[in-house]
């Protein structure tokens, strides 16, 4: 299109608003980052390489089964609650952003399934996360509790993926698959931080007190689930305590969240040992 003098003038006038800027600080900005970073799970990964895992095979497969389940539950909860969140916080941009996260999690399911099928160990319903999902979504304030719960799970996924890339025993296809997902998860953590900030801005002292009590219970259960992975973690060289320390340190990067939600002895023990 040829820009006329007038349309150029309009563009120049509108430029300072900069609606197109991809930024992790706004919901629409994050959506634009997601559009720009879109990847094709069939073409981005070389699925023809043989997968050699040696003696980490069993541990790695078991960890991936957990992950598959977590991705599935994550996707299901977003779909259930994203509209409610947008209504609650009166912010339609949230729906656009969370739909990009749905698309990402669906892609993650696709690559995990494809990889596990290649290993002749297709994902099965293990139900380990069902109590956590139930705890995160049933009863009052489901949106707030979902956003809080997601902060833990997304941060933990990021820490596990980062560690996986350092493990010499994981095959190149597995690492490629994780590398692509990690790019998405970094954006999801940024989105969750926006969600957490939105939530804290909307909660008075009483609501914060109730949510903090709930969060402590949730974290206790979630930490227990992560620790249950220790036998598999030992097989691949990933210590759950290391993952937990990294996750808590990452969450504590938000000073207001740290002050309001990470003051309990369990959180403080992880933060102290990471410092
Ligand atoms: Fe994911
Ligand atoms: Fe995610």
User: Which two three-digit tokens encode residue 136?
Assistant: 């995160």
In contact, 100 and 79? CB cutoff 8 Å = no
High-pLDDT (> 70) share of the chain, %: 89
pLDDT at position 194 is 96
b/e string for 85-106 if b means 16 or more Cβ within 10 A? bbebbeeebbebbbebbeebbe
Lowest mean pLDDT of 5-9, 97-101, 133-137, 236-240, name the range.
Answer: 5-9
- CA distance readout (Å), 132 to 59, 150, 183, 218, 225: 23, 11, 25, 7, 9
Residue at 256 is within a domain: yes
pLDDT digits (tens, 9 = 90+) for 60-93: 999 999 989 989 988 989 999 999 999 999 999 9
Q: What is the pTM of this model?
A: 0.87
Residue at 12 is within a domain: no
Number of domains in the chain: 1
Residue at 260 is within a domain: yes
Read off the pLDDT band of 127 (50, 70, 90): low
What's the 12 CA to ligand 1 centre distance in angstroms? 39
In contact, 143 and 230? CB cutoff 8 Å = no
The ligand placed nearest to the CA atom of residue 150 is 2
pLDDT digits (tens, 9 = 90+) for 2-46: 344 444 444 444 444 444 566 878 999 999 999 999 999 999 999
The ligand placed nearest to the CA atom of residue 108 is 1
Query: Which residues, including other chains, have CB under 8 Å from residue 231's CB and lie 6 or more apart?
Result: 59
Residue at 230 is within a domain: yes
pLDDT at position 273 is 82
Residue 62's H or E segment, with its range, is helix 57-88
What's the 250 CA to ligand 1 centre distance in angstroms? 17
CA distance 240 to 234: 9
Residue at 208 is within a domain: yes
The ligand placed nearest to the CA atom of residue 109 is 1
Backbone angles phi, psi at 175, to 5 degrees: -65, -40
Residue at 7 is within a domain: no
Residue at 263 is within a domain: yes
Q: What is the CATH number of the domain that holds 86?
A: 1.20.1260.10
pLDDT at position 147 is 95
Residue at 59 is within a domain: yes
User: Which two three-digit tokens encode residue 148?
Assistant: 């809080």
Q: CA-based angle 250:178:64, to the nearest 5?
A: 95
In contact, 164 and 178? CB cutoff 8 Å = yes
């Amino acid at each position: 299109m040829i820009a006329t003098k007038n349309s150029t003038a309009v563009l120049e006038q509108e430029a300072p608003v900069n609606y197109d800027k991809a930024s992790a600080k706004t919901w629409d900005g994050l959506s634009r980052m997601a559009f720009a970073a879109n990847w094709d799970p069939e073409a981005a990964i070389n699925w023809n390489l043989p997968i050699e895992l040696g003696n980490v095979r069993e541990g790695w497969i078991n960890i991936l089964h957990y992950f598959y389940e977590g991705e599935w539950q994550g996707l299901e909860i977003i779909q259930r609650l994203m509209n409610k969140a947008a209504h609650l916080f009166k912010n339609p941009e949230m729906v656009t952003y969370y739909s990009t996260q749905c698309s990402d999690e669906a892609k993650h399911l696709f690559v995990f399934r494809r990889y596990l099928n290649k290993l002749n160990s297709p994902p099965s319903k293990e139900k380990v996360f069902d109590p956590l999902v139930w705890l995160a979504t049933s009863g009052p304030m489901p949106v707030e509790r979902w956003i809080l719960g997601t902060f833990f799970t997304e941060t933990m996924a990021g820490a596990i993926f980062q560690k996986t890339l350092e493990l010499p025993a994981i095959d190149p296809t597995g690492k490629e698959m994780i590398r692509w997902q990690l790019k998405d998860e970094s954006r999801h953590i940024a989105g969750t931080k926006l969600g957490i900030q939105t939530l804290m801005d909307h909660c008075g002292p009483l609501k914060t007190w109730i949510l903090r009590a709930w969060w402590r219970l949730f974290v206790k259960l979630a930490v227990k689930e992560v620790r249950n992975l220790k036998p598999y973690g030992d097989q691949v060289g990933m210590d759950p305590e290391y993952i937990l320390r990294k996750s808590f340190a990452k969450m504590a990067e938000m000073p207001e969240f740290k002050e309001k939600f990470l003051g309990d002895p369990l959180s403080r023990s992880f933060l102290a040992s990471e410092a």
